[in-house]
Structure 1
Amino acid sequence: MCAYRITGTARLCSDCAGRTLQPVAEPHCPVCSQGLAPGRPCSNAVCSLPEAERGFSRVDAVAMYSGALRDKIHKLKYEGKTGWAMIFGRLLVGWMESHPEAMRGVDYVVGNPTHKGRQPIQHIEAIMDAAYTEDVTRAYPLSPPGGHRLVKQTETARSASRTLDEKRAAAAAHAAALTWTGDTGDIKGATVLLVDDVLTSGSQLQHVARRLRATGAADVRGLVLARVPWSG
């Protein structure tokens, strides 16, 4: 058990985790953070789209989806091990502290929401609530616990273990089910940092980002705990 689990700062947790987690590969795609072979372009089809069609300008990742991080995300997401939400909240805030250039100009930091009846836990909301608590200096525009600006009232089909077309349809349905809870005037011209747990192809992020842009956001950036390594 870590001696600083309760008293340590977000930056301390982030720096410590950085010594054990698999870092994002170098070189990597500046749009989706996929690792690249030297001299080879990114093979992710989303990245070749014009930004207006892609929706997001870029997505960064804390680490790669492997080893302990993959296991702990699974424990929170599917087993409801809530203690990991606090750690993940710290990792996100620690990353923000370590990357001030990526946070410059961000007006809202919001989670890519889960529906209100999700079992065993609304894991994204738990992570975002933890991140707000860990941001003790209120350096970032995170919503207070329970005050999530992007919500999902109804359940839609999950995309896990589906065909590519089914995944795209699920992503579109997910985005269509989202609601911006604040005054829509608040988002006009805003830069939104959209947070999620895992990124694979970026299809869901694309649909949610386009939904936010249609609502009035000028720029949508992504930040995920883990980037799934893949090739294609």
Structure 2
Amino acid sequence: MLDLLLPPRCPGCGDFLPDAGKLCAGCWFSLSFLSGPSCNCCGYPFPHDRGGEVYCGVCHAHERHFDRVRSALTYDGGSRPLLLGFKHGDRTELAPFLSDLLMQAGREFFTETDLILPVPLHPRRLIRRRYNQAALLAGCLSSRTGLPWEGLVLRRHKATIPQEGNYTLRQKNVRAAFSIQKGCQELIEGRRILLVDDVYTTGATLQSCARELKRQGAEKVFGLTIARVVRPGML
């Protein structure tokens, strides 16, 4: 009855679909999947295989507190409508579909992970948005992998402003923005943590979260996002 009243539409282009939470063929083929050679640390894609464990220029130049990050898609004209609809457009029904993409991108992590944590929103932003998109993804991944997840371990106590692109500015923006909730250290100490978020821009957010988790005794911190920004200048 609900589908008759409100027929499912493609979140990318708006065309009618037989099933909710899916993409039409055209939007599916517009996605740029990240499955080739990449930086061993942050997952930045390389145009060709350089052999062995190779790192991008940013990971060479800056200390990374996370151990490895992987992303499913390039953040571009194909993935942007999908991500914006999920993040800001109340398209929460996309969470299972997007978590399928994360399952493929992060398959190397699941045997090494003890606990899944979503990157948290500041309370004021959570009230405005009404849901944390990263927490929806973490819950779906937990159901698929059997790994536990916790939504209240990491706390975002600094209301950071949106900051595009520049690595140094984004690092400054999220510095000391995250902390561990009181009484949760025992969940972190000696554990291998998988952080889940929607988009990797410069890695500043994951970096800040990982720094705090390592400071509280985490053994390893991995990152997994639906999409990542890819710019030639980032190498």
Larger Rg: 2
Percentage identity across paired residues of the two chains: 25
User: In 2 relative to 1, CA 186–43 (structure 1 residues): closer, same or farther, beyond 3 Å?
Assistant: closer
> What is the CA-CA distance between 1:4 and the residue it aligns to?
5.9
Alpha-carbon distance between aligned partners in 2 of 1:106 and 1:180, rounded to the nearest angstrom: 20
| 2:84 counterpart of 1:74 | yes
> What is the CA-CA distance between 1:65 and the residue it aligns to?
1.4
Aligned to 1:168: 171
Alpha-carbon distance between aligned partners in 1 of 2:231 and 2:165, rounded to the nearest angstrom: 17
- Structure 1 residue ranges without an equivalent (≥5): none
Structure 1 contact 33–60 (Cα < 8 Å) conserved = yes
Aligned to 1:31: 41
Length, aligned pairs only: 209
User: Secondary structure of the residue that 2:81 maps to in structure 1?
Assistant: helix
Structure 1 contact 79–120 (Cα < 8 Å) conserved = no
TM norm structure 2: 0.74
User: Secondary structure of the residue that 1:229 maps to in structure 2?
Assistant: coil
> What is the CA-CA distance between 1:222 and the residue it aligns to?
0.8
Aligned to 1:102: 109
Aligned to 2:118: 111
Alpha-carbon distance between aligned partners in 2 of 1:139 and 1:201, rounded to the nearest angstrom: 30
| 2:68 counterpart of 1:61 | no
Alpha-carbon RMSD across the aligned residues, in angstroms, is: 3.1
Aligned to 1:204: 205
Aligned to 1:148: 152
> What is the CA-CA distance between 1:82 and the residue it aligns to?
2.4
> What is the CA-CA distance between 1:120 and the residue it aligns to?
2.1
> What is the CA-CA distance between 1:216 and the residue it aligns to?
0.5
Alpha-carbon distance between aligned partners in 1 of 2:83 and 2:183, rounded to the nearest angstrom: 29
Aligned to 2:14: none
Aligned to 2:136: 126
User: Secondary structure of the residue that 2:91 maps to in structure 1?
Assistant: coil
> What is the CA-CA distance between 1:228 and the residue it aligns to?
1.2
> What is the CA-CA distance between 1:209 and the residue it aligns to?
0.6
Alpha-carbon distance between aligned partners in 1 of 2:104 and 2:232, rounded to the nearest angstrom: 29
> What is the CA-CA distance between 1:62 and the residue it aligns to?
1.6
User: Secondary structure of the residue that 1:117 maps to in structure 2?
Assistant: helix
User: In 2 relative to 1, CA 223–55 (structure 1 residues): closer, same or farther, beyond 3 Å?
Assistant: same
